Structure 1
Amino acid sequence: MLKTLKSLSLGFFLTFLASLSLLISDLNRRTGVRRHIPHVAILQHASTPVLDDAVRGMVDGLAKEGLVEGKTITYRRFNSEGDISISNSIAREIVAGNYDLYLTSSTISMQTLANANRVKKTIQLFGAVADPAAAGVGIDMSKPLDHPANLVGIGSFMPVDEAFHIAREMFPALKTVGVAWNPSEPNSRAFVVKGREVCKQLGITLLEANVDNSAGVGEAIDSLASRGAQAIWVGGDVTLVVAMDTVIATARKAHIPVFSLTPGTPDRGTLFDAGADFYRVGLQVGELAAQVLRGADPRQMPIENIVPKYLVVNELALKGLKDPWHVPERLRAQAGVLVDEKGIHNRMASENADASLQAPPGKNFKIGLAFFAPEPGADSCMKGLFDGLKEMRFEEGKNLTVEKAHANGEIPNITPILQNFDNSNVDLIVAMTTPCLTAACTTVKHKPVVFTYVYDPIAAGAGKTMQDHLPSVTGVGSFPPVEDTIKAIQQLLPGVMSVGTLYNSSEANSRKVVSVARELFRKHGIMLEEIAITNTSEVFQAAQTLASRNIQAFWITGDNTALQAFGGIAKVAAQSHLPLVINDPEFTDQGAVMAVGVGWYETGRAASKRIAQVLLGQNPKTLPFENVAVRTLVVNMKVAKQLGIT
């Protein structure tokens, strides 16, 4: 009898174990629980608002499905900064890695990663792609399910016809429009082909100019204006978008407007942008990605063309135009974002804001903001930061108190500022500039720190990698496009052999950028003459010494000490009849001939999300550092003419 009972007990126990196993298996299957945290690679081709918005949407879309960065999913972000060869190298690196999924933003990123992934066949989802079929990776848009088994996403062919109809509505006598474009970009080619078709229907002559890189954009726009273009149109061309400031500045001198398909900073100077809301496109890609990570078959997912329309109208751009352009009331009412004399009215912001990053009603927040000194780049970054926070309902003067303090351009003044904030009642400290971040890493003991307006947080001492960093620190870095700067100098001065720079060797950001530049200048056959300084009083004399060394141009990166005495450098450059090339666009009108740098407004906006996350309780330790560098090219035509550069 006892033996029988033991046998029955064993049988019941084994049946219980089997049932429990089946139950767990069924729960996992039904809820989509994975046994490990998914690791996802994200590749975008350049730092532009459109591509940044798409990536932000992808990450937010996955978060809405329960896949939250640092908790239930991890990302590694890659950016080829507009260089196709770099994109190919990154694609090979990604494929060689151990990722569960790939996400791409832009046509070129989709192409390079899809081509590198032909053998491994990890699932790849794409967004911010105008015409997936034109990318040559096996997609047929007429047959939505006819695509490679591991490649799926969303196409967004922006409304070319609508853009030209809006332009004609604003100026009924419009007869000639100019467009500059890069023939090596498939998306750009597709838009221009459509533009020719629409212009033919409307009786508009479309003047065209080809460009190979951003350095040639200003000359191309100038030639279109001289050929009689009444307006400049920018399609989805990354080369043009990167140099949009130059496009706008050149068109403004010709007193003609610019309109585009790629919404960016609302008050950047385009008359209107009639394109797609790529944040929403990214959201849908993120939702698809969540389905795939939970076991959905991408072969059963159709590739569709989805274009959530997004119209930005800037009435301030009407000033100074030679033709009678106007904004009809219909378009004012239709605009998702309207810029007028009263400011920027963003009707899309609340719709696009991540619901999990909204300031709760009835609660107040306080931050301390430390920066090196007042200057245009810092002002631009702060504007982006506070605009971004406002969209998430953290508004200064209402539920947000901001205490600002700067070091007056002197490094020894930084530590007392940070100590004061650390012992106050602020909820977090924002460290702007590398010297402030470097000091915060050793000085701040009690408060979380979010950084921005920093080139390289790793060089500043904030961590070993973008993921492995100090537990109380997170933020957004923006490394400058050094090699693009060198290429621009070579275009500016064919045969250039020697370039001079000065920097404060105690600034980690400057040491890092100059060390990178030193090798790149050597690779391009150019001698980089260097002088290290310790404070602003040494800048003018250092610039004079460089000029005496027979250099052919000055290059100044974002060294805080040098920028505080920038007027002295510009004066020496002008007296020596030498071009001054910089990495900070905000200083271009102070005597530089060209800036190839970072759009600090977008960097600030990106940092606002990290600030909101920390204010709402997320641990900085779980938030990896980001690199957001919206590349910007600005040419000072007045200085160029003074130097005899055309």
Structure 2
Amino acid sequence: MKKMKKILSSILIASMAMSLAACGSSSDEGVYHIGICQQLEHEALDAATKGFQDALIEKLGKDKVQFDLQNAQGEATNCASIATSFVADDVDLIMANATSALQACAAATSEIPIVATSVTDYATALNISDWNGSTGTNITGTSDLAPLDQQVDMLAELVPDVKQVGILYCSAEANSVYQATEVGKYLDKKGIAWKEYTAADSNEIQSVVTNAIADCDCIYVPTDNTMAANTEIIKNVTVPAGIPVITGEEGICAGGLATLSISYYDLGYKTGEMAYEILVNNADPSTMDIEYASATDKKYNPTIAGELNITVPDDYIAIEGY
């Protein structure tokens, strides 16, 4: 009998030890699970995601954070599916990269904290009429809005004889509509005529740009994700026609002359710092003001400048690789 008790005791101790070992070795213990919904792949959004991840890895340690990075390939329906899967997985926080991603994540949950980036205007994206700097919901983040008035100044500086500007953007992107409206106001103040040219999707870009260069002597492209993914099309139409393109961010300048651009990596990094405050210090996203890039740079595409025979002022920085 004593021998049987001893065996049972040994089995019980071994079982408890295995249980404790299992608890101690759990890969989920103390690890933050973060879902990243990126609207599509292009240089600016990729840089923002990288900055976001680097900030959290640096602050938390690479063993304390797990990222589930999902790319929607530019499809709103994919954004919705990704957001729904993150909610089902009960992630600790969602990062929404670009406007359609934000809108899908906002529709999927009002409880899980959401930090967004590469969004131009949150009031427009979230249909908030009484904007006061924060969303009042489970959402906060960073804006990629560069000074639009200074972009118009740049346009006038580089194309001093401009008669009419074509504002080119995707009509499906709410923040592009916002930027086009604001840029139009600044062009009005300078007495420069302008006209909007919109494409519903990438299939329409070539024909729309072709129509624009027939009437305009300069093109302006805001921070538009559809255009950013199709810079080669824009370049192939505008450069042979001798039409300069001013862009809202550096990535689109692969098909343009110059930009007054922010650093999307730095913007993503700032977004990661905001996520850290929410995860570790219990910051409330509903009261966290949307943050903006702290600096901008005048940059230009040296290859296109040469092809257009345009001399760029000395305070512009040549974009490497262009």
For Structure 1 versus Structure 2, the TM-score category normalised by the shorter chain is 0.7 to 0.9
Q: Trace 1:455-494 onto structure 2 (pairs within 5 A).
A: 455-461=120-126, 463=128, 464-494=130-160
Q: Are 1:596 and 2:263 an aligned pair?
A: no
Q: Distance in 1 between matches of 2:205 and 2:241?
A: 16
Q: Distance in 2 between matches of 1:420 and 1:444?
A: 11
Aligned to 1:387: 54
Aligned to 2:279: 615
Q: Distance in 1 between matches of 2:127 and 2:285?
A: 12
Q: Which has the larger radius of gyration?
A: 1
Percent identity of paired positions between Structure 1 and Structure 2: 23
Correspondent of 1:637 among 279, 299, 302 = 302
Q: Distance in 2 between matches of 1:496 and 1:467?
A: 36
Residue pair 1:466, 1:625 contacting (<8 A) in 2 also: no
Q: Are 1:410 and 2:63 an aligned pair?
A: no
Given residue 416 of structure 1, which amino acid in structure 2 is its aligned partner?
S
Aligned to 1:420: 85
Q: Are 1:433 and 2:79 an aligned pair?
A: no
Aligned to 1:564: 229
Residue pair 1:502, 1:530 contacting (<8 A) in 2 also: yes
Residue pair 1:422, 1:445 contacting (<8 A) in 2 also: no
Given residue 260 of structure 2, which amino acid in structure 1 is its aligned partner?
V
Q: Distance in 1 between matches of 2:123 and 2:131?
A: 7
How far has the Cα of 1:543 moved from its partner?
A: 0.6
SS of the residue corresponding to residue 460 of structure 1 reads: helix
Given residue 47 of structure 2, which amino acid in structure 1 is its aligned partner?
S
Aligned to 1:376: 43
Residue pair 1:448, 1:472 contacting (<8 A) in 2 also: yes
Q: Are 1:366 and 2:33 an aligned pair?
A: yes
Residue pair 2:57, 2:65 contacting (<8 A) in 1 also: no
Q: Are 1:518 and 2:154 an aligned pair?
A: no
How far has the Cα of 1:556 moved from its partner?
A: 0.8
Deviations 1:523-552 (A, max 9, x none): 111112212221111111111111112x11
SS of the residue corresponding to residue 298 of structure 2 reads: strand
Residue pair 1:540, 1:568 contacting (<8 A) in 2 also: yes
Q: Are 1:531 and 2:197 an aligned pair?
A: yes
Q: Are 1:500 and 2:166 an aligned pair?
A: yes
How far has the Cα of 1:389 moved from its partner?
A: 1.7
Given residue 607 of structure 1, which amino acid in structure 2 is its aligned partner?
T
How far has the Cα of 1:450 moved from its partner?
A: 0.6
The aligned length equals 281
Residue pair 1:480, 1:629 contacting (<8 A) in 2 also: no
Residue pair 1:583, 1:598 contacting (<8 A) in 2 also: no
TM-score under structure 2 normalisation?
Answer: 0.82
Change (3 A) 1:446 1:424: farther
How far has the Cα of 1:366 moved from its partner?
A: 0.6
SS of the residue corresponding to residue 404 of structure 1 reads: strand
Deviations 1:314-361 (A, max 9, x none): xxxxxxxxxxxxxxxxxxxxxxxxxxxxxxxxxxxxxxxxxxxxxxxx
RMSD: 1.7
Q: Distance in 1 between matches of 2:268 and 2:132?
A: 18
Q: Distance in 1 between matches of 2:235 and 2:147?
A: 21
Deviations 1:587-644 (A, max 9, x none): 43x2321111221111111111111012123321232222225312211222112111
How far has the Cα of 1:462 moved from its partner?
A: 6.5
TM-score under structure 1 normalisation?
Answer: 0.42
Given residue 226 of structure 2, which amino acid in structure 1 is its aligned partner?
T
Q: Trace 1:310-349 onto structure 2 (pairs within 5 A).
A: none
Q: Distance in 2 between matches of 1:629 and 1:448?
A: 24
Given residue 498 of structure 1, which amino acid in structure 2 is its aligned partner?
Q
Given residue 610 of structure 1, which amino acid in structure 2 is its aligned partner?
M
Deviations 1:473-527 (A, max 9, x none): 1111121221111111111111212111221223121111111111111111111
Q: Distance in 1 between matches of 2:187 and 2:295?
A: 23
SS of the residue corresponding to residue 530 of structure 1 reads: strand
Q: Distance in 2 between matches of 1:403 and 1:412?
A: 18
Q: Trace 1:195-210 onto structure 2 (pairs within 5 A).
A: none
Given residue 609 of structure 1, which amino acid in structure 2 is its aligned partner?
E
Q: Distance in 2 between matches of 1:534 and 1:586?
A: 21
Q: Distance in 2 between matches of 1:448 and 1:543?
A: 40
Change (3 A) 1:510 1:394: farther
Aligned to 2:7: none
Q: Distance in 2 between matches of 1:629 and 1:420?
A: 34
Residue pair 1:497, 1:525 contacting (<8 A) in 2 also: no
Given residue 624 of structure 1, which amino acid in structure 2 is its aligned partner?
D
SS of the residue corresponding to residue 123 of structure 2 reads: coil
How far has the Cα of 1:468 moved from its partner?
A: 4.5
Whose helix proportion is higher, 1 or 2?
2
How far has the Cα of 1:383 moved from its partner?
A: 2.2
How far has the Cα of 1:564 moved from its partner?
A: 1.7
Q: Distance in 2 between matches of 1:524 and 1:584?
A: 22
Correspondent of 2:291 among 602, 626, 638 = 626
Q: Are 1:552 and 2:222 an aligned pair?
A: no
SS of the residue corresponding to residue 538 of structure 1 reads: helix
How far has the Cα of 1:405 moved from its partner?
A: 1.1
Change (3 A) 1:629 1:415: farther
Structure with greater contact order relative to length (CA < 8 Å, sep ≥ 6): 2
How far has the Cα of 1:472 moved from its partner?
A: 0.8
How far has the Cα of 1:413 moved from its partner?
A: 2.2
Q: Trace 1:57-456 onto structure 2 (pairs within 5 A).
A: 363-395=30-62, 398-456=63-121
